[in-house]
Amino acid sequence: MILLTLGLLVEFHDIKGVAGLAACVAFVNLLVLPLLTMLPVHAMSLPHWQIEVLPLEGAMPAVTLSVVLCHEYGSDHRLAA
């Protein structure tokens, strides 16, 4: 919820420049990282609930990324921090 609130408050001056980078980051965070975490998880003998939870945790967004993007594209990076 915090990231959603910050996303509504931060003003991007150049949305076209941010959109491509955001799409790449979303692709990596939502598809690549969970798939990479699933490979070693299935190789271990873990309980079923841990096999389901670990890829979900791998897909969680990093909060520090919002600060870097805001600073890079001239938005209010102090608000994002």
Mean pLDDT of the region 16-26: 77
- pLDDT value of residue 7: 66
Give the dihedral sign, CA 35/29/64/52: negative
pTM for the structure as a whole:
0.49
Q: Which pLDDT value is given to residue 3? A: 63
Domain housing 6: 2-80
pLDDT(75) > 80: no
pLDDT attached to residue 35: 85
CA dist list (Å): 7 to 56, 66, 74: 22, 9, 14
| Mean pLDDT calculated for residue range 76-80 | 74
For the chain, how many structural domains are there in total?
Answer: 1
pLDDT of 11 over the 70 cut: no
